[in-house]
Structures are given as structure tokens and as C-alpha cells.
């Protein structure tokens, strides 16, 4: 009897090993799915709001898109439109305590030149000489002044507390002002004197957009018209790349835990957006302030420049204004882990830090740099898929078998932060873009793939361009489509990690302390995509996780993760929204059961295959 039991157990073990091996090689087509989709591929570009990219997009006949063109903030020629006042930007003053809605002191009469912040090859910070010294107070067409193809332009500020202010409780009217006052945070240093509109290198760069009506972004335009586009999809965290990528993998936020439990980071690494003395003086002589006390990345020997926030503590700098705003909303925000989902005595990472592990899974000593996140144990979609036996992979260009090149973005990989991945065999799921291409060719692509282009082609302003990202995109989509057996059951989601600090006119649904943030584009390419369709359902990055969970019958990642939110009940869309005033148009983008986010299924039509 014992020998029979031993034999049966050995057969079971071999069978399970074969299943695990098969899943690891990406041959998971027989696993049951809710939909015909057997492969999900998520391609993530960098730092583009919806209006920056699709602001002048004209949808297919019978469809409507909410953008600065449909709102008549601009005309098809890219010049200010008849409703330009809706997009005008204002000046404010914030001298004592950080505020998400500082005191408005008036409108800009004109906007200064866009700055050259982060522009590759620039030798000094200031106005970008490619643009005029003065612009109208309105969104402006970037390609009126510079060529579309491969031109580097400035990168707007895109940090957590800055974006809360830029969006101004949904008024969307403080983008240049925040850039010109707070900028990238000052790295904990005192502001220079004199302090002018060009000091931070921002200027009006945040108001730029590309004009699809004039031929810009031909690849994105063609894909959006041919497949399905979401015009109510958002970054999930206010601010930058790192926090949003972590949320794409976890539906949650990283926190300080170097010894495995929540603890207090060094004072120099704690955010303090309360203004210090100095800063801009308006043309009318009003002090505008808003120079943050501690924010950014300072001298590596001191670690100055805040990036952590204790958001459960109302006395913590910057927290009170956000929490008061959330408490005044007509609905209760997501709060399973504490007020606005902020756990007690926990410091959350709201801006970019690199992972604690190198590509070989070795923990990097903090003495090398203070700007490393703690090892994380947040339940991730990778953990959930592995537990279910569903194959997955993160394919980051420049990974180079764990010896990354300069093309690789470490803080873009949510799984490199995770102890459960970096200290186990799951680290093998982290691969490079060449590996992705090889696995497509061999037919061994995993069920779920996250694809991250390299730094030079990811579309990030300053050191990349949308045209470079479009070429990467075109090449990648063509590769997948050239394999019919793969493509026939595949969903390719194309999005951007965050709006990059660019102006956007769309509605934002506050969900928790950390966001949502501005709209970013999302395109679905699939044989099951609703062709030529614009979806107005409210989504954010966690919607990607919700779709994966629904398709492979997974539950929410944790009790506090944002994927617990229900699907939205959206208002019935009118037949002719283009005839309505912009405020009325935007009302159809607000869920009736807030807080809520969709699972992306409305982008599909599973009754037919293309």
C-alpha cells in the first residue's frame, strides 16, 4: 500500500512539474479563461497625457472623443478656439502651508516660453530657444515650432504633490504656475535669488500638444481609428513613473520597510511641500511662493529631497490639504487600509526610487545611494498569476540578462521591487525585449506580458520622442500580427505610465489619497476589439489588473488593493454630445457609483473575431 501511494505521489509530482514547466514556457493556451483571450500584452510608453497626444484627434464617424478639440479650446489648425477660456491657466499664491487649491490671484496674460527641463544635450536650464519667448495663454501646438520627428522638447514636472496642485481640484488650471514655482522640488535647497519664470526650466512646457489633425502621430492615430480607444483612462497615482508602474503591478503603493515592517525613513527623505521663503513675484507685485521645503533628489551624501509621505497623519506636511479635499467629496473614497487607504505609521513612496535589488536579485546596499526603495512584499499580479499556474513575464528593453544597459528603466519594473520575485525562481520571468521577440517567434510567449521600451524610444519628453515610440510600437505590433496563431487570441493594450505633467482637460475621479491622476491614452489592438470605437467608461491602470483577474479567474490581490473597486455605472451617453457645452460633455464621464473603475471589457466585442 505504501509503495502504491509512493508511486501515485511520484506520478502526481511529475505531472505537476510538467504543468509548471509548460506554463513557464508560455504554452498556457489550455488554461480556462473567461474570454477567448489567451494572451495579454501590455506596452507602456512614458509621460504623455491624453490631450498632449490625442488633443486634436478626430474619431471615426459616429464616435465622440472628449479632447481640447471637441471642447473647442483649440481649432483643428491648432490655434486657440472659441472656447479657449476653458483652457486658460492661472497664477496663484501659496506662502504658508501646502494647498491643493492655492489662492488664485489672476490669469496669465501670456505664457512664457516652454522650458528645456531634461532636454538631452542642454547645457543650462532656461527657456527653450526653439520656441517664441511669449505664447498665448492656451494650449499650444508643439509642431508649429519644431519638427515632429525625433525632436527633443522639455519635460514638464510630474511629481506627486505638484500634480495635485496642477489639477487644482479638477479645475486643471495651474500647470504652468506649479512648474514655474515648485518645479522638480528644489532637492531640499533654498531657492536662488533672483527667481524668475525661467528659473526651474519649466516655463509653459506643460501646455504643449501634438496635432493629429495636422498629421502628427500617424501610427497612434491609425491604431486608434482602426481598433478601440479609451478616452476616460487615467494614471492611478498623482505624479511620476515609479509609483505608477508599481501600481500597474500591484494596485497598491510601496512603503518604507527596510527591516520588513513599516518604519520611519530618514527625515531628509520625507516629503515637505510646505513653502519656504522666496520664489516668484507676480507682475503685479504679489509673492507667489510655493517653493517646496523638501522635495526631489539632493546630494546623495545627505539624501535631501523628500519622496515619502505619512498620509494617515493629518499633521504631516502636505497631507491635510489633500485629506480635507477628499473628505468634502460627495462620496467616500476607497479606505480599506485606513483613511483614504493610508495605514497608520506608514510612509508611502510617492515619487521615483529605484528597486532595492539589482538584476541578479542581490540587495543593493543603501550606502551606495539613498534613493532606493525598501524590498517590498506587496501582493502583485505576478504572484497571483504564478499561484494560479498562469505564465507571465516582464520584458524590459536593455535588461541584458540581469546586467542592464543604460536603455533599461529599473523603476519601471514593478516586479524588481518584490522580494517574492527577486529572491526566487520567479526572477527568470524578468527578461529583455530581445527575449520577447524570440519567444514570439518560437510560440512560447507567456499568457501575460508587460513590455517596456528602452529609455531612448519610450516617448519620454526630454530624451525621447513620440516618433521614436511610434516606431517601436509599429515594429512590435507588426511582429505579433505576423504570427496568426498567436494574434488570434491576443489583446494588446498600449498605454502611457503617466501624463508627464502635461495639461489635460478630462475629468479625474479622486479614489484615494494617491490619485487618480490625469488621463493617459489607452488603445486596444485585438481581433476582438470593437473596431473604430471610443470607450467612455472610467478606467485607470488598475483596470489592466482587473481584466487579467477576470480573464483568468483570480481574486483581488489584497484587501487594500484598488482592484477591489466595483465596475462603474456610467451615464447613458447622448446621441449628439458634440452639440453640448464642454461642462455638460464632461458630465457623461463621471461614474454614478463612485468610487469605481472598469475592467476594460467594454473595449471588446467577443461576438466576432476580426
Does residue 175 contact residue 166 with C-beta atoms inside 8 Å? yes
10, pLDDT greater than 70: no
Residue-wise pLDDT tens digits, 347-398: 999 999 999 999 999 999 876 677 899 999 999 999 999 999 999 999 999 9
Q: CA-to-CA distance for 171 and 334, rounded, in angstroms?
A: 22
Q: CA-to-CA distance for 245 and 349, rounded, in angstroms?
A: 12
How much of the chain, in percent, has pLDDT values that exceed 70? 93
pLDDT attached to residue 368:
65
pTM of the model: 0.94
Q: CA-to-CA distance for 400 and 176, rounded, in angstroms?
A: 39
- What's the CATH class of domain 39-277+292-603? alpha beta
Angstrom CA distances, 592 to 326, 341, 399, 502, stand at 17, 21, 43, 27
Q: Sign of the CA dihedral 599, 602, 608, 609?
A: negative
Alpha helical stretches, state H, 1-48: 2-24
pLDDT attached to residue 89:
98
Buried b (16+ CB within 10 A) or exposed e, 233-272: bbbbbbbbbbbbbbbbbbbbbbbbbeeeebeebeebbbbb
104, pLDDT greater than 80: yes
Q: CA-to-CA distance for 137 and 161, rounded, in angstroms?
A: 24
Does residue 206 contact residue 69 with C-beta atoms inside 8 Å? no
Q: CA-to-CA distance for 541 and 521, rounded, in angstroms?
A: 11
Does residue 225 contact residue 318 with C-beta atoms inside 8 Å? no
Residue-wise pLDDT tens digits, 106-133: 999 999 999 988 776 665 688 899 999 9
DSSP 102-169: PEEEEE-SEEEPBB-TT-TT-SS-SB-TTS-SEEESS-EEGGGTS-STT---------HHHHHHHHGG
Q: Which residue has the higher pLDDT, 84 or 267?
A: 84
pLDDT attached to residue 122:
63
- R_g over Cα of the chain: 24
Q: Which residue has the higher pLDDT, 485 or 19?
A: 485
The cell numbers describing 162, all together, are 505638484
β-partners of residue 93 are 103
The cell numbers describing 478, all together, are 507588426
β-partners of residue 136 are 110
10 Å CB burial of residue 60 (0-12, 13-18, 19+) is: middle
582 band by pLDDT with thresholds 50, 70 and 90: confident
Domain residues of the chain, as ranges? 39-277+292-603
Element at 309 (helix H, strand E):
strand 308-309
Angstrom CA distances, 330 to 116, 338, 592, stand at 40, 19, 11
Q: CA-to-CA distance for 208 and 47, rounded, in angstroms?
A: 13
Amino acid at each position: 500500500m505504501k509503495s502504491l501511494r509512493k508511486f501515485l505521489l511520484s506520478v502526481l509530482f511529475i505531472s505537476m512539474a510538467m504543468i509548471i514547466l509548460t506554463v513557464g514556457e508560455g504554452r498556457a493556451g489550455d488554461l480556462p479563461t473567461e474570454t477567448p483571450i489567451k494572451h495579454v500584452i501590455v506596452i507602456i510608453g512614458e509621460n504623455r497625457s491624453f490631450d498632449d497626444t490625442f488633443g486634436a484627434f478626430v474619431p471615426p464617424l459616429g464616435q465622440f472623443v472628449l479632447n481640447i478639440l471637441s471642447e473647442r479650446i483649440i481649432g483643428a489648425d491648432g490655434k486657440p478656439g472659441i472656447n479657449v477660456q476653458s483652457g486658460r491657466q492661472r497664477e496663484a499664491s501659496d506662502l504658508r502651508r501646502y494647498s491643493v487649491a492655492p489662492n488664485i490671484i489672476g490669469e496669465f496674460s501670456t505664457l512664457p516660453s516652454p522650458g528645456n527641463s531634461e532636454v538631452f544635450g542642454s547645457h543650462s536650464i532656461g527657456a527653450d530657444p526653439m520656441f517664441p519667448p511669449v505664447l498665448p495663454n492656451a494650449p499650444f501646438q508643439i509642431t508649429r515650432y519644431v519638427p515632429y520627428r525625433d525632436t527633443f522638447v522639455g519635460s514638464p514636472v510630474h511629481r506627486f504633490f505638484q500634480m495635485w496642485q496642477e489639477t487644482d481640484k479638477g479645475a486643471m488650471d495651474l500647470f504652468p504656475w506649479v512648474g514655474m514655482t515648485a518645479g522638480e522640488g528644489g532637492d531640499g535647497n533654498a531657492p536662488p535669488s533672483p527667481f524668475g519664470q525661467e528659473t526651474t526650466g519649466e516655463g509653459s512646457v506643460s501646455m504643449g500638444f501634438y496635432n493629429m489633425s495636422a498629421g502628427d502621430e500617424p501610427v497612434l492615430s491609425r491604431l486608434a481609428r482602426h481598433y478601440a480607444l479609451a478616452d476616460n483612462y487615467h494614471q492611478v497615482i498623482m505624479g511620476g513613473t515609479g509609483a505608477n508602474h508599481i501600481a500597474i503591478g500591484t494596485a497598491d503603493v510601496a512603503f518604507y520597510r527596510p527591516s520588513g515592517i513599516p518604519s520611519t525613513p530618514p527625515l531628509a527623505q520625507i516629503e515637505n511641500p510646505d513653502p519656504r521663503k522666496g520664489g516668484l513675484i507676480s507682475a503685479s507685485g504679489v509673492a507667489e511662493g510655493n517653493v517646496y521645503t523638501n522635495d526631489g533628489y539632493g546630494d546623495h551624501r545627505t539624501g535631501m529631497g523628500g519622496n515619502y509621505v505619512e498620509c494617515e497623519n493629518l499633521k504631516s506636511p502636505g497631507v491635510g490639504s489633500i485629506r480635507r479635499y477628499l473628505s468634502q467629496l460627495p462620496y467616500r473614497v476607497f479606505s480599506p487600509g485606513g483613511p483614504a487607504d493610508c495605514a497608520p505609521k506608514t510612509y508611502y513612496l510617492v515619487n521615483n526610487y529605484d528597486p532595492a535589488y539589482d538584476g541578479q536579485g542581490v540587495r543593493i546596499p543603501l550606502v551606495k545611494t539613498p534613493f532606493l526603495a525598501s524590498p517590498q512584499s506587496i501582493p502583485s499580479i505576478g504572484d497571483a498569476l504564478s499561484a494560479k499556474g498562469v505564465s507571465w513575464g516582464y520584458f524590459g528593453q536593455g535588461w541584458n540578462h540581469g546586467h542592464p544597459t543604460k536603455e533599461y528603466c529599473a523603476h519601471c519594473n514593478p516586479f524588481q521591487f518584490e522580494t517574492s520575485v527577486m529572491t526566487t525562481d520567479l526572477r527568470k520571468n524578468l527578461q529583455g525585449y530581445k527575449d520577447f521577440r524570440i519567444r514570439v517567434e518560437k510560440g512560447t510567449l507567456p499568457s501575460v506580458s508587460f513590455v517596456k521600451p528602452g529609455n531612448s524610444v519610450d516617448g519620454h519628453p526630454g530624451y525621447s520622442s513620440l516618433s521614436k515610440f511610434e516606431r517601436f510600437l509599429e515594429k512590435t505590433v507588426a511582429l505579433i500580427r505576423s504570427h496568426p496563431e498567436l494574434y488570434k487570441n491576443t489583446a494588446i493594450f498600449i498605454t502611457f505610465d503617466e501624463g508627464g505633467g502635461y495639461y489635460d482637460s478630462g475629468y479625474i475621479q479622486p479614489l484615494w489619497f494617491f490619485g487618480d491622476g490625469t488621463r493617459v491614452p489607452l488603445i486596444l489592438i485585438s481581433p476582438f476589439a470593437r473596431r473604430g470605437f471610443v470607450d467612455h467608461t472610467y478606467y485607470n491602470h488598475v483596470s489592466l489588473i482587473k481584466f487579467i483577474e477576470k480573464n483568468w479567474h483570480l481574486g483581488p490581490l489584497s484587501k487594500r488593493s484598488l482592484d477591489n473597486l466595483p465596475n462603474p455605472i456610467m451615464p447613458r451617453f447622448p446621441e449628439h454630445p458634440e452639440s453640448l457645452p464642454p461642462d455638460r460633455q464632461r458630465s457623461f464621464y463621471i461614474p454614478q457609483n463612485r468610487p469605481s473603475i472598469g475592467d476594460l471589457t467594454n473595449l471588446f466585442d467577443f461576438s466576432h473575431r476580426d
